[in-house]
Amino acid sequence: MAAGEGKDEMDRSGISGRVAVVTGAAHGIGTAVVHALGELGATVVAIDLDADELAEVASTATGKGRRVLACPADVADSAAVESAVEHAEREAGPVDLLVNVAGILHPGTVQEIDEADWHRTFAVNTTGVFHLCRSVSKRMIPRGRGSIVTVGSNAAGVPRQGMAAYGASKAAATLFTKSLGLELAEHGIRCNVVSPGSTDTPMQHRLWDERGPVPVIAGSLETYKTGIPLGKLATAEDVAEAVVFLLSDQAGHITMHDLYVDGGATLRA
C-alpha cells in the first residue's frame, strides 16, 4: 500500500470518526464487521448476548488500536435494546451506522420444529432487527443522517428444505428493512440488506456432517439445492466488506437494495 493510501480510503468511505452499533458481534460475520469498521476508524459499540465472547472480541480489537465497546444485550428484549443504544450514545456519541447481524438458526422441517424454536427464531432474526432499527432511527431522524444494513440470507429468497423458519424470518427482516428505507429516505437515512449464502462461520459448521463443506459447495439434486458456482464458501470478511460498502459514502445513492453475497448460488438475474 502506497503512503497515504489507507487514509485516502478512509476518507472515501466516510467511516472514520463515525459511531457504529453492530449486533451479533461476538461471532462470525458480526465479529468481522466489528474489525472492518474499527480498522477504518469507526468507534464500534458491539452488542451480543454472549458476554464472554463479546468481551474477547472487544479486547482483541482494542489491542489492535481500535475503539470497540462491548455492550451485552439480547436483541429480542426491547428494553435491553433501548438501554444499549442509550449507553452507546452516552459513551461513544451519536450513532451514525447500524448493522443488524444477530441471528440464530434452528434447522428442521415444519413438522419437526417446535413452537419455542419458531418463536425464538423470529424474536432474534426479525423482531431484533425491528427493535434496533426503531431505537436507532428515531435518534438518526432529527440529525438527518445515517446508514443501516441488515444481514439477511439468500435463504430468504429461495425455498430450502429444513429451513422454513429461518428463511421466513430473514425474508421478513429483509422486507422490513426495505420498507424502513422508504420511510427514512426523506431524512437522508439509507437502509440496505446484505444477503450471504453459505459462509465459513460456526453457524455453518453446525450444519455439516463428516463430509464437511463438500455437499454445500456441490449442491444436492435430492434436496433441490444448487451448489456454489464459484466453488467455495464465503468468508465472514467477504460479507463484512459488502456491509461496509453499503454503509459507506461510496454507496451514498443506494438504498432499499438487497446485495447477495453467495458466490452465485441463487442464480439471481
Residue 211 in this model has a pLDDT that exceeds 90 = no
The amino acid occupying position 23 is: T
Query: What's the pLDDT tens digit per position in 113-146?
Result: 999 999 999 999 999 999 999 999 999 999 999 9
| pLDDT number for residue 8 | 53
> Checking DSSP bridges between strand 97-100 and strand 146-151, what pairing results, if any?
parallel
Compute the mean pLDDT over every residue in the chain, rounded to the nearest whole number: 93
Residue 173 in this model has a pLDDT that exceeds 70 = yes
| pLDDT number for residue 208 | 65
Residues noted as catalytic: 166
DSSP assigned state of 121: H
Q: How does residue 170 score in pLDDT terms, banded at 50, 70 and 90?
A: very high
**Angle, alpha carbons 208-214-217 (nearest 5°):** 105
Query: What's the pLDDT tens digit per position in 226-269?
Result: 999 999 999 999 999 999 999 999 999 999 999 999 999 999 75
| pLDDT number for residue 269 | 56
Q: pLDDT exceeding 70 applies to what percent of the chain?
A: 95
Q: How does residue 216 score in pLDDT terms, banded at 50, 70 and 90?
A: confident
Section 80-100 average pLDDT:
98
Domains of the chain: 5-261 (3.40.50.720)
Query: What's the pLDDT tens digit per position in 8-40?
Result: 554 689 999 999 999 999 999 999 999 999 999
Section 148-162 average pLDDT:
95
Residue 43 in this model has a pLDDT that exceeds 70 = yes
Residue entry with cell 439445492: 225
| pLDDT number for residue 3 | 46
Section 217-223 average pLDDT:
86
Single pTM value for the model: 0.92
CA dist 153 and 166 (Å) reads 9
H or E element at residue 244: helix 236-247
H or E element at residue 9: helix 5-13
Residue 2 in this model has a pLDDT that exceeds 90 = no
Residue 73 in this model has a pLDDT that exceeds 50 = yes
